[in-house]
Amino acid sequence: MTNAFIEYFDGSIEPKLENLGGKGASLVTMTGAGMPVPPGFVITTSAFNRFLDTSLIRQIDELLTGINVDDVAVVDEISGKIRELILECPVPEEVREATRVAYERLQSQFAETVPVAVRSSATAEDLPDASFAGQQDTYLWLNGYAAVTEHVRQCWASLFTSRAILYRLKNEIPNAGLSMAVVVQKMVNASVSGVAMTLDPTNGDRSKITIDASYGVGETVVSGTVTPDNIQLDKVTLGIVFEHIGDKHVELIPEAATNGLVEREVDAQRRAVRSLTDDQLAAVAQLAKRAEKHYGTPQDIEWAIDADLPDGNNVLLLQSRPETVHSAKKPTATSTTTSGGYAASLGLGASISSMTASLLKS
């Protein structure tokens, strides 16, 4: 079931970047490939384009014309004006109705209403020659249709944040034809989460898988709030090459009373052990390998273990994008780096999360 304004993850429609943006196209593709993705739908670029009437487009173009990339104060001022225009512009009724139907369809899959994430999905992000991710906004733990529609418009407006405008100017990405889709997706009740790369991020060695993991929701890893467990595995045997047990002193967990997240201290016993069991570690590595095989290039994935699902079927793929630093280079020969060398190259307690934080905030 689909229409011009909505595409469901499981809609069996060919995902197109120009309709779904980078994030949306990736999630639809992963669902179609049978990967364990939390369910949801995409509000397509057609909805955004319908929202931007001719006069609004003209006003935005006029504000952006001749902008100086070195004048940050002016960029901030113009960004504020554009976002205010977008937030004050009414959403066409046909777009609102299509979104309402899609939201109710998603919620009908569950016994009780579940919180959702609303995530920006720009048509310029995750391009092979530019890591555009992290330039727009994501809103988590939203409840109810009203909250969803409010934050969809916030996502549209985030196409014109100062950092997004500056990024496009510096990378010579034209504004003409630029559009924004928005992903609406069930939130995951994460007991453990993190990131993984299907290579060694220090040297591009593709015979390795590198995983960062910590308790609770992955924002603590992405933001650098905690030092996560950092594990490197052989991609073929899945044997551990190196591991460092991070401190993991706090975790973000869902709180039913506020329909949000609370930070909780992790007790000393849990801090001292790896947050993933051996079986879970292997499952995350296998998931990363599946993503790499499907896309045909090294991947940078975001994953979580959903506490609401049974063991063996609870490792979920939240996002997968091409690794952009080393993937453009020729594969290196099998690395001779020892576990000790790997630890030294990272520094004690260092992790891939510090290299990918900007990617995973999107």
pLDDT digit string (tens) for 130-156? 444 445 678 888 989 999 999 999 999
pLDDT at 209 over 70: yes
pLDDT digit string (tens) for 239-273? 999 999 999 999 998 886 776 789 999 999 999 99
The pLDDT, as a whole number, for residue 308 is 79
CA distance 317 to 328: 24
Structural element, H or E, at residue 142: strand 138-142
Q: Positive or negative, the Cα torsion across 87, 88, 89, 94?
A: positive
Stronger pLDDT, 2 or 155, i.e. the higher one: 155
pLDDT at 101 over 60: yes
CATH class assigned to 6-186 = alpha beta
Considering only CA atoms, which of 219, 236, 237 is closest in space to residue 228?
Answer: 219
Most confident of 42-46, 138-142, 165-169, 330-334: 42-46
Percent of the chain with pLDDT over 70: 85
DSSP state of 2: B
Mean residue pLDDT of the chain comes to 84
The pLDDT, as a whole number, for residue 328 is 63
Stronger pLDDT, 48 or 324, i.e. the higher one: 48
- Orientation of helix 54-64 relative to helix 72-88, angle to 10°: 170
Question: Residues, the chain, total?
Answer: 362
Work out the pLDDT band at 362, boundaries 50, 70, 90. Answer: very low
pLDDT digit string (tens) for 293-342? 998 999 999 999 988 777 888 999 988 889 877 766 665 444 333 333 22
pLDDT at 359 over 60: no
Amino acid at 243: E
pLDDT at 173 over 90: no
Mean pLDDT value of segment 206-223: 93
Contact (CB, 8 A) for 180 and 123 = yes
The pLDDT, as a whole number, for residue 330 is 60
Domain ranges, ordered by start, for the chain: 6-186, 190-360
The verdict on domain 190-360 having CATH code 3.10.450.50 is no
pLDDT digit string (tens) for 57-72? 889 989 998 888 889 9
For residue 183, the cross-strand partners are 42, 119
Stronger pLDDT, 281 or 187, i.e. the higher one: 281
DSSP state of 158: G
Cα three-residue angle 91-123-4, rounded to 5 degrees:
50
The pLDDT, as a whole number, for residue 312 is 82
Lowest mean pLDDT among 9-23, 33-47, 121-135, 327-341: 327-341
CA distance 51 to 245: 49
Lowest mean pLDDT among 3-17, 184-198, 221-235: 3-17
The pLDDT, as a whole number, for residue 335 is 36
pLDDT at 212 over 90: yes
The pLDDT, as a whole number, for residue 329 is 65
Number of H helices, E strands in the chain: 12, 13
CA distance 322 to 122: 16
Work out the pLDDT band at 349, boundaries 50, 70, 90. Answer: very low
The pLDDT, as a whole number, for residue 19 is 94
pLDDT at 286 over 70: yes
Q: Positive or negative, the Cα torsion across 220, 225, 226, 228?
A: positive
pLDDT at 42 over 90: yes
Contact (CB, 8 A) for 171 and 130 = yes
Percent of the chain with pLDDT over 90: 56
